[in-house]
Chain A
Amino acid sequence: MPSSVLTAEAAEHYIDAVASLLGLAIAPDYRPGVVLNLQIAIRLVRIAETLDLGDHDELAAVFEA
């Protein structure tokens, strides 16, 4: 399992790697807020992951052909 906490340093590295992929230029004064919110989101990802999902737990997507 990955670490339960995303450190600020790790968040900074991740933002550097992924933001350009998305075409996002994140201004220096936005970064602390983005780092903090990314840390919060990952903390909640870890809580969501406490559910023991199996291979047959399907996505709850909304689409009808």
Chain B
Amino acid sequence: MTDLTQFTAAAIADGVKAGAFTARALAEAHLARIAAHDGKVGAFTAVTTERALAEADAVDVKRRGGAPLGPLAGVPYAVKNLFDVTGLPTLAGSKINRDHPPATRDAALIEKLSAADAVLLGALNMGEYAYDFTGENAHVGPSRNPHDLTRMTGGSSGGSGAAAAAGFVPVTLGSDTNGSIRVPASLCGLFGLKPTFGRLSRARSFPFVSSLDHLGPLGRSTADCAAFYDAMRGHDPDDPVSQDRPAPPLGPEVAAGIGGLRIARATGYFDGMQEAAARDATALVAAALGAGVVEIPQVAAARAAAFVLTCSEGGALHLDRLRTRAADFDPDTRDRLIAGALLPAAHVATAHRVRARYRDAMRALFRDVDVIIAPATPTRAPSLGQKTFDLDGQMVPVRANLGLFTQPFSFIGLPVMSVPVWTAGEALPIGVQIIAPAWREDIVVRVAGHLERTGLVGARVARLD
């Protein structure tokens, strides 16, 4: 019997449209896998069974009636629990938000996916208020890496990484302020697309650092991430940073190849502070692409400025909660947010000025290069509870440093996809970032699609039995 939970989103939509299986059968198969295995994975904080079956039935009714079906017909997906889902409080990984009333309207991206006939299965675990790279949640427990349940998923979109890697859904949505899509994509062996800042609407999602917050998909193929992006793109005046500019579809770019692209591996900062696994995976990808090398200027200052902006703006956002409900925070999150709230304004202004200067430097660099390749994380998945790791002889905190290589690109909003590499004999994957100039998601997808066709990168559904 065919296991419907092994299919990609593209195969699911094709099968539903062709009548090979029903959307209801798909939803039920994925819900059954969640029921059987999520107790040990910890991906979901809410499974929206009733809604999922109703949405699936609506798709089947449309098909039987001969009505046109959306591009994601019957495709199950789930969202990080900072997206508003009608009828659920938007937790954002916190205990405090449990007291919020249920959302009365879906997040903008969920509305777009509903219009594309996708089927929402639930809300996903995440690090508290998205201030996290581990996927460990102090209130509900960690999301566990489906490829090794003793290891981290990465975060903060930990449940998003776990759910797609576990075969609970083919695609999830996450958020990425400093790396929170790309880190779990790397540790869970997925494709994770962080589009350009201002590209996808953040309306009705819970913020962390408004200056840096992005939303995007994690999936098991380039084409699936592209299909979700295509369904979600478009200007939205309800998000103040949403840009009204052309957003051509990415689907046709997946098979377009890399002809004419000037590709370079980032050196300098990106050669340091990592284990051999990261270096090896990046070298493999660079070799497969015939990449040259490029040294990115000002990158250490940029990463530092991203850190400063994050803790300051995050601290300001949560200041009232820190005044009144400090004991209800995860202590790790709380202490960083308090420190951020205390930072002098002059330092924050400096960080903003560094951002503008670094963006200009990167724009200049992209006159000579079309694509930059860099590691996504410095290591494969650390063990759950692990506090420090050894990076090139330096013992440094895991929580702050899993995003060492992702922060410099989200800081200036560049489009990036993390692609999964499994080196010979390894049970755990690691990601490599593909970075393009602002608004050029098409280039990112061309390179990821090419790498996927070579067989060097690819996702796997974890065995959970």
Interface residues of A (CB under 8 A from B): 14-15, 18-19, 22-27, 30, 33-34, 36-38, 40-41, 44-51, 53, 57-62
| Shortest distance between the CB of A37 and any CB in chain B (Å) | 4
Size category of the B interface is: 35 or more
| Shortest distance between the CB of B366 and any CB in chain A (Å) | 17
B289 within 8 A of A: no
Of the candidates B300, B339, B352, B358, the one having the most CB atoms from chain A within 10 angstroms of its own CB is B339
| Given contacts A24-B323, A41-B343, A48-B308, A59 and B356 within 8 Å (CB-CB) | yes
| Interchain CB contact (< 8 A) of B304 among A23, A24, A44 | A44
**In the complex, chain B residues whose CB is within 8 Å of the CB of A15:** 342
| Interchain CB contact (< 8 A) of B357 among A14, A47, A53 | A53
Of the candidates A30, A53, A59, A60, the one having the most CB atoms from chain B within 10 angstroms of its own CB is A60
| Interchain CB contact (< 8 A) of B339 among A41, A49, A58 | A41
| Interchain CB contact (< 8 A) of B353 among A14, A41, A44, A59 | A59
| Shortest distance between the CB of A39 and any CB in chain B (Å) | 8
B351 within 8 A of A: yes
Q: State which residues 312-361 of B face A: CB under 8 Å.
A: 319, 322-323, 326-327, 331-332, 334-336, 338-343, 347, 349-359
| Shortest distance between the CB of B410 and any CB in chain A (Å) | 13
B31 within 8 A of A: no
**In the complex, chain A residues whose CB is within 8 Å of the CB of B350:** 45, 48-49, 53
User: How far is it, in angstroms, between the C-alpha of A61 and the C-alpha of B241 when the chains are bound?
Assistant: 11
**In the complex, chain B residues whose CB is within 8 Å of the CB of A27:** 326-327
Quick check: A33 and B335 within 8 Å, CB to CB? Answer: yes
Interface residues of B (CB under 8 A from A): 210-211, 240-241, 298, 300-301, 303-305, 307-308, 311, 319, 322-323, 326-327, 331-332, 334-336, 338-343, 347, 349-359, 400
CB nearest neighbor in B for A23: B323
Quick check: B326 and A57 within 8 Å, CB to CB? Answer: no
**In the complex, chain A residues whose CB is within 8 Å of the CB of B400:** 40
Q: What 6 new A-B contacts, CB under 8 Å, besides A30-B335, A37-B339, A49-B350?
A: A25-B326, A26-B338, A27-B327, A51-B298, A58-B356, A62-B211
| Shortest distance between the CB of B363 and any CB in chain A (Å) | 13
**In the complex, chain B residues whose CB is within 8 Å of the CB of A47:** 300-301, 303-304
Of the candidates B240, B305, B331, the one having the most CB atoms from chain A within 10 angstroms of its own CB is B305
**In the complex, chain B residues whose CB is within 8 Å of the CB of A38:** 339, 342-343
14 pairs from A and B in contact (CB 8 Å cutoff): A23-B323, A24-B342, A25-B326, A27-B326, A34-B339, A40-B339, A44-B307, A45-B308, A48-B301, A50-B300, A59-B352, A59-B353, A60-B353, A62-B241
**In the complex, chain A residues whose CB is within 8 Å of the CB of B332:** 33
**In the complex, chain B residues whose CB is within 8 Å of the CB of A23:** 323
CB nearest neighbor in B for A30: B335
**In the complex, chain B residues whose CB is within 8 Å of the CB of A25:** 323, 326
CB nearest neighbor in B for A18: B342
User: How far is it, in angstroms, between the C-alpha of A35 and the C-alpha of B235 when the chains are bound?
Assistant: 42
**In the complex, chain B residues whose CB is within 8 Å of the CB of A57:** 353, 356-357
Interface SS, B side: helix
CB nearest neighbor in A for B322: A24
| Shortest distance between the CB of B404 and any CB in chain A (Å) | 12
Quick check: B352 and A37 within 8 Å, CB to CB? Answer: no
Quick check: B334 and A30 within 8 Å, CB to CB? Answer: yes
| Given contacts A48-B354, A57-B353, A41 and B240 within 8 Å (CB-CB) | no
User: How far is it, in angstroms, between the C-alpha of A44 and the C-alpha of B303 when the chains are bound?
Assistant: 9
| Shortest distance between the CB of B273 and any CB in chain A (Å) | 14
| Given contacts A24-B322, A44-B304, A45-B304, A59 and B335 within 8 Å (CB-CB) | no
User: How far is it, in angstroms, between the C-alpha of A40 and the C-alpha of B399 when the chains are bound?
Assistant: 13
Quick check: B353 and A58 within 8 Å, CB to CB? Answer: yes
| Given contacts A22-B319, A47-B300, A62-B241, A30 and B338 within 8 Å (CB-CB) | yes
| Interchain CB contact (< 8 A) of B311 among A18, A22, A41 | A41
Quick check: B304 and A60 within 8 Å, CB to CB? Answer: no
**In the complex, chain A residues whose CB is within 8 Å of the CB of B326:** 25, 27, 30
User: How far is it, in angstroms, between the C-alpha of A40 and the C-alpha of B312 when the chains are bound?
Assistant: 13
Quick check: B308 and A14 within 8 Å, CB to CB? Answer: no
CB nearest neighbor in B for A49: B350
| Given contacts A27-B326, A60-B355, A60-B359, A19 and B342 within 8 Å (CB-CB) | yes
Quick check: A48 and B357 within 8 Å, CB to CB? Answer: no
User: How far is it, in angstroms, between the C-alpha of A44 and the C-alpha of B311 when the chains are bound?
Assistant: 11
| Given contacts A44-B304, A62-B240, A53 and B335 within 8 Å (CB-CB) | no
| Shortest distance between the CB of A13 and any CB in chain B (Å) | 12
